[in-house]
Amino acid sequence: MVNGKVCVVTGGGRGIGKTIVETFAANGAEAVYALDINNEALAALSGDTVHGEVVNVLDSESIRTVVEKIIHAHGRIDVLVNNAGITRDAVINKMDDDAWQAVIDVNLKGVFLMTREIGPRMMEHGTGSIVNISSVVGLDGNMGQTNYAATKAGVIAMAKTWAKEFARKGAAVRANAVAPGFINTPMLETVPEKVIEGIKAKTPLKRLGEPQEIANLVLFLSSDLASYITGQVIRCDGGLVV
């Protein structure tokens, strides 16, 4: 599906990002670069075509360094998955300035910095696919997630903007967003069991999603099978809001 493609996945050390890395590697990628701040998680990744790089998506210098390294080795980047993300949940009157800013920084500015470095190079090369990992929370809102909801709506708007911006001058660069429902990863460890049970109950498929189910959609959007899909947000949520 991504045969011969050079792929970059942020937050590729664990959870959904790690599964996306493994899925790209298993589906013919020439190289998959997992960028993460978690050195130990990166060290545990395996596969001849998988490369772990310690990069904070807020550090524009180290982003540039790693992008130049990848371009030097492969000549291009075909796929960028902006997956790194964090939560700092609280109802608004209890959400302090730090909790607001930390989530805005990683989830929004990190996506901006990564794409500012890679998107124009894709355009110059003439092809590419960018996938932003959003959330159903960015479409529907969620109690206690003012900061997170704002960022997840923001990355949808950015994908739509890039679908226009990077397709100029005849370039076939696509940009889409994926909106997962509630997925079984370490990110959900802070969510109370009662809340998780409530989510399952109101989901038609009566369960959480698995990282592989998100990775499958990201794989499709990153591949040439999705060559006429751009500027879209696609839900993968077990029917949560049907």
Q: Least CB distance from residue 35 to ligand NAD, whole Å?
A: 6
Q: Report the number of secondary-structure helices (H) and strands (E) in the chain.
A: 9, 7
Enter the tokens of residue 182: 């509630």
CB 13, min distance to ligand NAD, A: 4
160 alpha carbon, distance to own chain's centre = 15
228 is a catalytic site residue: no
Tokens 């929004």, located at residue: 108
Q: Which is nearer to ligand NAD, 123 or 185 (CB)?
A: 185
> How far apart, in Å, are the Cα atoms of 194 and each of 13, 52, 89, 98?
28, 36, 16, 27
Who contacts 38 (Cβ-Cβ below 8 Å, separation ≥6)? 13, 14
String marking each residue 137-176 x if it binds ligand NAD according to CB under 6 A: ----------------------------------------
Q: Does 119 bind ligand NAD (CB under 6 A)?
A: no
Spatial distance between the Cα atoms of 70 and 76, rounded to a whole number of angstroms: 7
Binding mask 1-40 for ligand NAD (x = CB under 6 A): ---------xx-xxxxx-----------------xxxx--
Rg over CA atoms, the chain: 17
When asked if residue 62 is in the footprint of ligand NAD (CB under 6 A), the reply is: no
How far is residue 177 CA from its own chain's centroid? Answer: 8
Size of the site for ligand NAD (CB under 6 A): 30
* Set 24, 148, 162, 182: catalytic member: 148
In the complex, the smallest distance separating the C-beta of residue 103 from ligand NAD, rounded to whole angstroms, is 9
Nearest to 55 by CA among 87, 15, 84: 84
Catalytic residue list: 148
Report the interface residues with ligand NAD, using CB under 6 A. Answer: 10-11, 13-17, 35-38, 41, 56-58, 83-86, 106, 110, 133, 135, 180, 182-183, 185-188
